[in-house]
Amino acid sequence: MIHLLCHYKPKTKTMSETTQEQKVPTTEEFIAHINEQISIAEVRAKLQALNTQIAKDRAEELNALMFIAQVTNPKAGEEQADDEEPSEDVLPKRKLKKD
Which pLDDT value is given to residue 1?
Answer: 43
Stretch 27-56: mean pLDDT: 97
- 36-60 CB burial, b ≥16 within 10 A, e <16: eeeeeeeeeeeeeeeeeeeeeeeee
Mean pLDDT in the chain? 78
10: left (phi > 0), else alpha (psi -120 to 50), else beta? Answer: beta
In this predicted model, what pLDDT tens digit does every residue of 47-92 receive, in sequence order?
999 999 999 999 999 999 999 999 998 776 566 555 555 555 555 5
Which pLDDT value is given to residue 85?
Answer: 57
